[in-house]
Structure 1
Amino acid sequence: MKILVVGAGAIGGYFGGRLLEKGENVTFLVREKRKKQLEQTGLMIKSVHGNMHLTPSLITADQRADPFDVILISTKSYQLNDVIKDIHPFVGNETMILPLLNGIAHVNQLIKEFGEKAVIGGLCFIETTLDHEGRVIQSSPIHKLVYGERNGQMTDRIKRLQSSFEGTKASFILSEKINQDMWHKYLFISAFSGITSLMNSPIGPIREEKSGYKAIAVLLNEISAIMKKIEAPIEEKIAEAQLETMKEMGDQMKSSMQRDMEKLFPIEAEHLHGYLLEKAEDHHLDAPVLQTIYTKLKLYEKELSQNQP
């Protein structure tokens, strides 16, 4: 299958690199600056699962190519409008669009633009970043990408995609309940990113404080209550299960949102926490911890915009 990976950053660079390492037909859609860098250095990946130094096929949005079988979107939500414009020329009648963004709101946006059939479900679990030289640094054992038809069916096309993903030196998992998987990830990442960004701390020190542990539990319950109210397909006791997961995380684990704030980068406050608060207000639900997190994030965004040159 012809695979287009949108972005060659921490996530797209890693999973696209693993597919390229396997021998799949992978092209990266990148900005001109990143294209020049990769042409000079190659795609360099430093990973606990084995390092790679690859020579990727690269295109920019102003170039033309035949439609791709799969387009994997690995960017942030605040880049999605530009991504939609960029990928239009590469989408054909049979193209599958596989987004790995956190949250849920992007799914409807992609469906509205490309149609119900085009968009499949996806998510990933990985701790990775780009260093100052543009290398992908993947530093923990988890490197999992989950995908599937949003209606849960095992279609011919998803089986073909499974064949392309199989045998890769990363965990590509086909799910028959990808919608639930995405909502569960949304719950986890909103709580984890929210609490670590609010406290400006890795999860361990927060968890060790009695008040911090309680705040995590309350936040998970707030978010799960909102999701249940809007009839999201989550398990009944998912908040309790995810609290147990957070108890088992390494003490120094940080969320990507917290790391972005440390670097003074943009964040996904509206896409993740703002969307949930909008639904809470629609249904007259109180979510004071989530509201506090959202306020902290919006103040950060305001200060960031004021300090932009």
Structure 2
Amino acid sequence: MGLKFLVVGAGAVGGYFGGRLLEAGENVTFLVRSKRRKQLEQNGLVLQSVKGDATLYPPLIEKGEAGTFDVILLSTKAYQLPNVLPDLKDFMHNETAVIPLLNGIGHLDTLDQYFNKDKVLGGLCFIESTLTKDGHILHTSSGHRLSFGERNGKLSERVERIAASFEKTNADVQASIHISEAMWRKYLFITTLSGITTLFNSPVGPIRNSHEGQAFTDQLIEEIVTTMRQTDEPIKDDFADKAWRQFMKVSEETKASMQKDKEKGLPVEADHIQGYLLQIAESNELSTPYLQAVYANLKVYEQMRKDAD
């Protein structure tokens, strides 16, 4: 019998990868709010993608409805977790696995405390997608990669079963025995990219093409890696060099999703991304002026949103 997947939300990430699973014939249900449910029932789950368009009509449920699932794909924003987690326990059985696709690392502590730790896998994705005003999922670059795995580095039977479900999907999905390292590598890059694009209110190009922009980025990367080394996590010697090379390779038009959210006047994950690292730095008495500048800029933006309400 195949696995039953529950995708929490039908946004730019969960909607895309859940849609690709559904497109491949897998058993996928979306947990959505009533407004999004009406939109999907009327127009379908619409993927507009450089990898192939699709319009799908998935099963939809809201909190309080019945059903249990084998795998939960969780791709909400970190600040949405407190409102989302209470809805999930009714949809879980003893063997349900949770795959979080959030940016950052701090959510693992939250999930481990809320569920049994053995239920929570590691997970990450790389995709440039956004939700249009019509509720369509717009996927604009060739990358659509998702990785997941046991955080203890073992290739378990449940991971193999989940990987088998993804095999025929129109997406690059892989099980990894190095998922913890991969999550920290992504955390470094996302913290850097979101930091510089929000601070300078710019895509990567002008930042990278200026001496001052390059120097700031280099120092920010060094601060982040130094802070990460204060943890017990697998932070390898090549982290900074690889993050720098990745920064130099992305297109000039690249903006972090946090910058796009900021431009739309939406909430940002300042506390979850930059703030979490600043807590580590403070507890280890590290000086992090570049990271603090990034964080201060985001907190001022949050205050502006609050003042405008």
TM-score class, shorter: over 0.9
User: 1:16 maps to which residue?
Assistant: 18
The letter of the residue matching 1:234 is I
User: 1:229 maps to which residue?
Assistant: 230
User: 2:72 maps to which residue?
Assistant: 71
Report the Cα offset of residue 231 of structure 1. Answer: 2.8
The letter of the residue matching 1:201 is S
Report the Cα offset of residue 232 of structure 1. Answer: 2.2
CA distance in 2, matches of 1:196, 1:163: 37
Q: How do 1:1-309 and structure 2 match up within 5 A?
A: 1-65=3-67, 67-308=68-309
The letter of the residue matching 1:33 is K
Report the Cα offset of residue 173 of structure 1. Answer: 1.0
CA distance in 2, matches of 1:23, 1:291: 47
Local SS of the residue matching 1:231: coil
CA distance in 2, matches of 1:239, 1:59: 43
Local SS of the residue matching 1:95: strand
Report the Cα offset of residue 305 of structure 1. Answer: 1.0
Local SS of the residue matching 1:10: coil
CA distance in 2, matches of 1:173, 1:155: 14
CA distance in 1, matches of 2:308, 2:152: 45
The letter of the residue matching 2:160 is K
Sequence identity, in percent?
Answer: 49
Report the Cα offset of residue 229 of structure 1. Answer: 1.6
Local SS of the residue matching 2:148: strand
Local SS of the residue matching 2:93: coil
The letter of the residue matching 2:29 is T
Report the Cα offset of residue 237 of structure 1. Answer: 1.9
Report the Cα offset of residue 185 of structure 1. Answer: 0.6
Alignment RMSD (CA, Å): 0.7
CA distance in 2, matches of 1:212, 1:62: 49
Tell me the alpha carbon deviations over residues 250-276 of structure 1, each in whole angstroms, 9 at most, x when there is no partner.
Answer: 001011000000000000000000010
CA distance in 2, matches of 1:93, 1:115: 10
CA distance in 2, matches of 1:159, 1:237: 29
Q: TM-score scaled to structure 2, two decimals?
A: 0.98
Report the Cα offset of residue 242 of structure 1. Answer: 0.9
Q: TM-score scaled to structure 1, two decimals?
A: 0.98
CA distance in 2, matches of 1:177, 1:251: 30
Report the Cα offset of residue 117 of structure 1. Answer: 1.0
The letter of the residue matching 1:121 is G
Report the Cα offset of residue 287 of structure 1. Answer: 0.8
Tell me the alpha carbon deviations over residues 1-41 of structure 1, each in whole angstroms, 9 at most, x when there is no partner.
Answer: 00000010100110000000000000000000000000000
CA distance in 1, matches of 2:81, 2:198: 23
